[in-house]
Copies of this chain bind each other. A is one copy, B any other.
Amino acid sequence: MATFPLNAWYAAAYDVELGRSLLPRTICNQKIVFYRKEDGTPVALEDACWHRLLPLSMGRLEGDEVVCGYHGLVFNGSGRCTHMPSQESVNPSACVRAYPVLQKHRFVWVWPGDPALADPALVPDLHWNDSPGWTGDGKLIHVNCDYRLVIDNLMDLTHETFVHGGSIGDRAVAEAPFVATHGDRFATVTRWMEGIQPPPFWAGQIRHARGYSGAVDRWQIIRFEAPCTVTIDVGVAEAGTGARGSEGVPGDRSRGVNGFVLNTITPETDKTCHYFWAFARNYCLHEQRVTHELREGVARIFREDESVLEAQQRAIDDHPGYTFYNLNIDAGAMWARRLIDRRIAAEASPAAAGRAIPIRPAA
């Protein structure tokens, strides 16, 4: 059984990673070479020459085309072979697969499934990563686990108490009640902790940004977007200033500080993933020191998760067929898994099979 749907936009690289050189990266078990054309447009090609399978990423760019590093076959950005050594004519069937690819919200996204379904409107919403009024920074981590274990981890923040006891862990979170909701594509977990003393991290942020010390209303709003994106809206505001809002009416967060932990986790293989994250905030926008501190702070915390997630993957491999038991805290993760499973099942159905993805595009 597949562990991920193919018909989805997956983050393949940070925008700044991709330039005028050949970047090999495996996405959903497929080896792909990425590069930018001279005008900056990203290209994604199957990373194996049609002739003898040498990775094209071992060749070189020539204008907007790739030259294979073994026998010099040339492929254009659509994957078509435009030159063969020592012969005048080019075999018309000679091509490599080209993937739909685009850039948005500071990531380069690739669609490993049926190209006919690659609607740019389906790119996950990570607009905080490049919108006015928000600033921040992030990283890419390679984790040796099924990407869904990262989703599980993000959908339940009570683990902070036990995994991150030395930094952001906080009994208050494990004890606060939460509300879980879901739709066809989204699942959310919302926690409000009102009129509390802020934990050290948030106390520091609100004092620095707003000059405020005292009780706060604190929120954590986790939002999963199938199949593999999780945004976490976090922050605190002066207690009683209406940050929470009421049913259907957004609150007033002007007396607070707000951040978004942006996460999108791309399957590399069934048991490894590329974990892209960023932390965006709406305060102290021009203080590079704050950006740097938040980025490194989050990176430290995610390294603790990495160690737990990789151990969990090894344990799962040791227990094939293990039936997992869900606790109350797993409500959000459980819904995220169901939304993923539905998309995988839809692609495995006979109707979907009619839309088989051509591995080698027809001539």
The interface of chain A, by Cβ under 8 A from chain B, is 31, 48, 50-55, 58-59, 67-72, 84-87, 91, 93-94, 152, 156, 158-159, 161-163, 174-175, 307-308, 311-312, 315-316, 318-319, 322, 324-325, 327-329
Contact = CB atoms under 8 A, between A and B. Distances in A.
A172 B93 CA distance: 27
B312 A51 contact: no
Contacts of A48: 315, 318-319
B325 A70 contact: no
Contact of A174 (B85, B161, B163, B329): B85
Contact of A70 (B68, B91, B93, B159): B159
Contacts of A175: 86
Contact of A54 (B59, B67, B87, B311): B311
Contact of A31 (B68, B307, B318, B324): B318
Minimum-distance CB pairs A-B, first 6: A53-B315, A72-B162, A87-B328, A86-B329, A85-B158, A85-B174
Contacts of A94: 325
The interface residues of chain A, by DSSP majority, are classed as loop
Contact of A312 (B54, B174, B315, B319): B54
21 contacts: A31-B318, A48-B318, A51-B324, A51-B327, A53-B312, A53-B322, A54-B311, A54-B312, A54-B315, A55-B311, A67-B162, A69-B163, A70-B162, A71-B329, A84-B327, A85-B162, A86-B158, A86-B174, A86-B175, A87-B328, A91-B325
Contacts of A163: 69-70
Contacts of A69: 162-163, 308
A315 B55 CA distance: 7
Best-buried of A68, A84, A86, A174 by chain B (most CB within 10 Å): A86
B322 A158 contact: no
A70 B312 contact: yes
Contacts of A91: 325, 327
A54 B328 CA distance: 18
A48 B315 CA distance: 7
Nearest to A52: B312
A319 B162 contact: no
A71 B174 CA distance: 9
Contacts of A174: 72, 85-86
Given A70-B159, A71-B159, A162-B72, A327 B55 contact: no
